[in-house]
Structure 1
Amino acid sequence: MTSYPANLPIDAPDRMNVLFIVYPNIVLLDLVGPLQVFTHSRRNALSEAAYRTYVASRDGGRIETNTIVQIESDPLVNWSEARQKPPIHTLIVIGGDGAGEAARDKAFVEQIRILAKQATRVCSVCSGALVLAAAGLLNDRHAVTHWEDCEQLASQYPAVKVEVDPIFIKDGKVWTSAGITAGIDMALAIVKEDLGKPAAIEMARSLVTPMVRSGGQSQFSAELDRQARDTEGRFSRLHDWLSDNIRRRISVDDMADECGMSSRNFSRRYSDVMGISPAKSLEAIRVDRARDLLATTDKSIKVIASRCGFQDDEGMRRAFLRTVNTSPSEYRKQFRLR
C-alpha cells in the first residue's frame, strides 16, 4: 500500500492507480483480499507490479475494521482537491457494517461522486454498493451486493437493477461484487481484463485460489448448502460420486445402490436430511456444472447439455427455467466472461 501525499509526482505512468475507499467498521477481508490481488499483480514474471495501491477515508487516519486490526488511510481531500491529481484507474468502495451510515454522509458521498468522474473504473465490494448507490453511480445499472443486503439495496435505491445471484457484475465502467471473498473474484477478473488471462491465473495460483471464477457463478454455494444440511456427512460420498459421474444417466436406484440402501428407504432418508428429493438434488448439481461451462467456455449448449448429463438441450433448458428462471442462452448472454 502506498501513502499518497498531495505533492507526490506521478512518476510511473505505466502503473495503474487503484484507490480503495474505506470508512469506520469495514469488513477487513473486503479490503485486504482485493488489495492483495492488485498489490502483487504484474504483467509477467519479469515486470514490475502493474498497479499502485492506496487507501483513503473521509478524514484520513486510522479506520476501525470488524476485527482488532486498524487500517491507516489518507484523507480523501488529497485526491479530490489536490492541485496535481494522480489519475485514478480503479476506484473501489469497500463494504462493511458501517456502509449504511457512510451512505448517509452527504459530504463523503459527494467526494466519491467527484472521484468517480475521474476514474476509469468504479467498483464496490459487498455492501459498498450502498455507497455507490447513494452517489447515484448505480442508477439504471445492474448491480449486486452481499445476499443479506440485496433487499435493502433494492428498496432504498429503486433505480438500481439489483441482481441477487451473481458473485460480481460488470455494467459499463461500474463493477459490483457480492460479499466478502467475491471481492477477490472481481479483482482477479479486473486483472484479467487489464493484463490478460495468464496474469490473472498466476495471481490466483499465488493466492492458492482453486480457480478464477466467472461473475456468472452464484454467490449461493449449492455445495455449502448441501454440507450445511448434511452436517453428519451421511450423503457426502454420494454427492462426490454424482459430481464425478455427472455425464451418466443416473437413476434414484443408482443413487440408492451407491449408498447401499433400498430405493424407498434411500429416497425417504435423503429427503428428510436434505430437504429436497434425490432427483431434484441431481438436477441442481447438473445445472451448477452447466452454469460454469456456459460462463467460462465457448462450447455449444448441445455439447454442454451432454457433458452435464441432460437428456438433450431442451431438457437442460427446462431445468434452467425451473432453477434459474432463465434459459441457458440468456444466462450465457448475461454472465459469460469474455
Structure 2
Amino acid sequence: MHRVAALALDGLVLLDFGAISQFFGHRHRDPEPENYELVVCTEGGGPVTSACGAAVGGHGDLDVLEQADTVIVPGYGPILEPLPERTASALHAAAERGCRMVSICTGAFALGHAGLLDGRRATTHWAVTADLRRLFPTATVEDNVLYVDDGRLLTSGGVAAGIDLCLHIVRSDFGAEVANKIARRTLVAPHRAGDQAQFVEYGHRPAEPADIDMARLLSWVEERLDRPLSVAEMAGHIGYSTRSFSRRFQAQFGTSPWRWVARQRILRARQLLESSDLTVEQIAARCGFETTVAFRRRFRELVHVSPSDYRRAFRTRSEAS
C-alpha cells in the first residue's frame, strides 16, 4: 500500500484537492486491488478555509507526513507569503527522508518556500510562473507546460493539468493499463504528455465554433494504431478539412495531430510491454511502426529508456510490489 499525504493549506483550491481525492483516495466498486491510501493533513489538524470559503478538515496534524511515501500540495491562496515555519520544516523533512514531493497548480510555491525547488525543474499555473521564477531564482521554471517530472519532485500547471499529473503518477507506479482504466472511469484523456502546452485564456487563441470531439477521435484511432494513419484520415473521420483540423487540434491540445498519434502508439506499446510476452518486434508491428528501429528510437525519445529496459524495470517493480 502506497501512502499519499495531501497537505491542505489556507486558500485551498478545491478542484486540485478533488483530483487528488479521486485518483488516490476514491474507493471504487471494481474488484481491482486498492493501490493507494490517502490521508489529509493540516497544520494543527484543524480545518482550513478553501478558496471559495468552505472549510476542509484533515485526518491529522503535520506528523502525518512522516509516514507518507508521496506528499502532494494542492493549489492554495497566499502564495507570495512564506509558509509557517513548522509547515515548511515538515515538507523539507519529508523530502530529506526520500519522499516523493508533488504539487498541483500554485502548490509549487509551498515547495519553493520549503526550499525544495532550489536547482530543480518546476512549473505552475501559467498566470503566476513569473512570480515563481522571481521568488525562487535558483529553480528552472518551465513556462506553459502541463507538468514537470524531475525525479522525486513533480509539479503541474493549473487546474486540469493536475489531473494529467495524477494519471502520470499512477502510470509510473502501476503501469499504463491501470492508469488507462482509471482514466476511462473518470472520463478524461488517458494520457497528455507533460510538455504539452497548458490551456491559456481563450482570448489568447482564435475563437473556434466548436472544439474537437476527442472521445470520438480517440476511440477511432485506438482501433487503427496497427496501421498507417494520416492527418487527412483523422480529419475526414470527424468531418473537418485537413487544414482546419490541424489548426484546431494544435490550439485545443497544444501539440500536432502527428505527435499526438505517436504518443498513442507508444502508450499502446507500454501496455503490451507490461502485460504480454510479445517480442519487441511484434509490439512494434502492432503499434503501427514500419520498422523495429523506428519503434525503439521513438520509444526511447518519449519514455527515456529502451523497450526492453522498460519491460524489465516494470516487471521488477511489479514483483517487488
TM-score by length of 1: 0.64
- 2:156 equivalent in structure 1: 177
- 2:174 equivalent in structure 1: 195
**Cα distance, 1:295 vs structure 2:** 4.6
- 2:207 equivalent in structure 1: 230
Pick the aligned partner of 2:44 from 31, 49, 59.
59
- 1:216 equivalent in structure 2: 195
Q: What is the rounded CA distance, in whole Å, between the counterparts of 1:247 and 1:287 in structure 2? A: 16
Which structure 2 segments of 5+ residues have no match? 218-229, 268-296, 311-321
Q: What is the rounded CA distance, in whole Å, between the counterparts of 2:17 and 2:249 in structure 1? A: 36
- Contact 1:21–1:91 at 8 Å: present in 2 too? yes
Which structure 1 segments of 5+ residues have no match? 1-14, 259-276, 300-328
Matched, 1:26 2:12: yes
- 1:38 equivalent in structure 2: 24
Residue identity (%): 25
- 2:317 equivalent in structure 1: none
**Cα distance, 1:292 vs structure 2:** 2.6
Q: What is the rounded CA distance, in whole Å, between the counterparts of 1:127 and 1:335 in structure 2? A: 27
- 1:79 equivalent in structure 2: 64
Matched, 1:94 2:74: yes
Q: Please list, as runs of the form range in 1=range in 2, the aligned pairs for 1:109-148 lying within 5 A after superposition.
A: 109-148=88-127
**Cα distance, 1:118 vs structure 2:** 2.8
Matched, 1:108 2:60: no
**What's the RMSD between the two structures over aligned residues?**
3.7
Structure 1 runs of 4+ with >6 Å offset:
334-338
What is the aligned length?
254
- Contact 1:90–1:119 at 8 Å: present in 2 too? no
Q: What is the rounded CA distance, in whole Å, between the counterparts of 1:62 and 1:287 in structure 2? A: 41
Pick the aligned partner of 1:70 from 45, 52, 55.
55
Q: What is the rounded CA distance, in whole Å, between the counterparts of 1:145 and 1:169 in structure 2? A: 9
TM-score by length of 2: 0.67
Q: What is the rounded CA distance, in whole Å, between the counterparts of 1:283 and 1:206 in structure 2? A: 24
Instruction: Say which SS state the counterpart of residue 80 (structure 2) adopts.
Output: helix
Pick the aligned partner of 2:183 from 201, 204, 215.
204
The CA deviation string for residues 273-306 of structure 1, in whole angstroms up to 9 with x for no partner, is: xxxx98x95895695324434555449xxxxxxx
The CA deviation string for residues 247-297 of structure 1, in whole angstroms up to 9 with x for no partner, is: 38x9xxxx9xx7xxxxxxxxxxxxxxxxxx98x958956953244345554
Matched, 1:289 2:257: yes
Structure with greater Cα Rg: 1
